[in-house]
Amino acid sequence: MIANKWADLHLHSTCSDGTERPADIIRRAAELKFTCVSLTDHDTVAGLAEASEEAERLGVELIPGIEISAHINEKSVHILGYLMDIQSEQLQRIISSNQSGRMTRMIRMVAKLNELGYKVDLDELLNFVGQGTIGRSLLAKFLVKKGFFKHPEEVFASILGDGKAVYEPVPKFSPEEVLSLIHMAGGVSSLAHPGFTGIDYLIPELVEAGLDGLEVYSSQHDPAVTEKYKRMAEEMDLLVTGGSDSHGPIGGWRKIGAVRLDYGHVERLKDRVNRRGALKLAPGGNAI
């Protein structure tokens, strides 16, 4: 009997807002018998070199990935990109613009916090963030550390979630622009945890703009939600992806091992990339 091959295509390291180094994530994946993983840090690929070295040593397949932030109608939209050329001009443009935008955004959020009476020093916050990707997740953890709240979830529910008093969107890119740039960098896209994002009404529009897949299997989806997006993916001829959205071993339900994606879905991701590349190279073919 051939053993099942499993993948986790949504993982975060200390290079964005996770608590484990990239190499540690790969070692944990190997211990849990994963065949394939993707490091999908927020708006950065800085951890891929370290992860790749450890993956090669341990025989774990590493899919180059990233989770890119966009916004539409005051809603944050997270789009996963896979199998891109991480040195491409298009991907570096996304990373550079979003990192610059994140800093501008954080300055505005810190100002709002201080207006509300939460005394936050920007330099102290930046020291806490370190080399990570500065965003709401680490800001929430910082506010817990300062004693303003008991849990990060409480921060989001109270002041930091979409549309709340301190919320500021990540500027610069719309979902349509992100999808286009992922394709230009040679990759495929998937809408992260759609059940959590709550933009079902926009999915057909995103498909028209080039969305390749849906993250059907997520630690943030219960069985009924998973089945819903599985049907939607079938109806719209979308790729199926899945992952734990792990940010470290201390995270209860949202940690590596919580989701095991059948490796057949990874093969379909690769096939989409290969077919798109063939269309680009074929005489008279339409560039995508």
Residue 191: what pLDDT? 97
pLDDT in the model for residue 171: 64
d(CA 124, CA 110): 11
Cα diameter, the chain: 63
Q: What residue type is assigned to position 110 of the chain? A: V
d(CA 92, CA 171): 16
Q: What pLDDT is stored for residue 3 in this prediction?
A: 63
Residue-level pLDDT at 282: 40
What class has domain 6-96+174-281?
alpha beta
Contact 240, 214 (CB under 8 A): yes
Which among 207, 231, 264, 243 has a CA at the least distance from the CA of 40?
243
Report pLDDT for 222. 94
Question: 3-state DSSP call for residue 96?
Answer: helix
- Full-model pTM: 0.81
Q: What pLDDT tens digit does each residue of the chain (288 aa) get? A: 346 899 999 999 999 888 899 999 999 999 999 999 999 999 899 999 999 999 999 999 999 999 998 887 767 789 999 999 999 988 888 888 878 888 888 999 999 999 999 999 999 999 998 877 788 989 999 999 999 999 999 999 999 998 899 998 766 688 999 999 999 999 999 999 999 888 899 999 999 999 999 999 999 999 999 999 999 999 999 999 999 999 988 656 678 999 999 999 999 999 999 988 755 534 433 332
Where do you find CATH 1.10.150 in the chain? 97-160
Nearest to 77 by CA among 1, 191, 181, 159: 191
Tokens found for residue 169: 């969107």
pLDDT for 239 equals 98
Q: Which helix (H) or strand (E) holds 239?
A: strand 239-243
d(CA 80, CA 41): 9
Buried b (16+ CB within 10 A) or exposed e, 20-53: bbbbbbbbbbbeeebbbbbbbbbbbbbbbebbbe
Stretch(es) of the chain classified as CATH 3.20.20.140:
6-96+174-281
Q: Which pLDDT value is given to residue 200?
A: 93
Phi-psi domain of 99 (left: phi exceeds 0; alpha: psi -120 through 50; beta: other)? alpha
Tell me, what's the pLDDT at 127? 92
Strand stretches in 1-88, DSSP E: 6-11, 36-39, 61-72, 75-82
Tokens 């790969």 identify what position? 26
3-state SS, 104-155, equals HHHHHHHHHHHHCCCCCCHHHHHHHHCCCCCCHHHHHHHHHHCCCCCCHHHH
| pLDDT value, residue 17 | 86
97-160 carries CATH number 1.10.150: yes
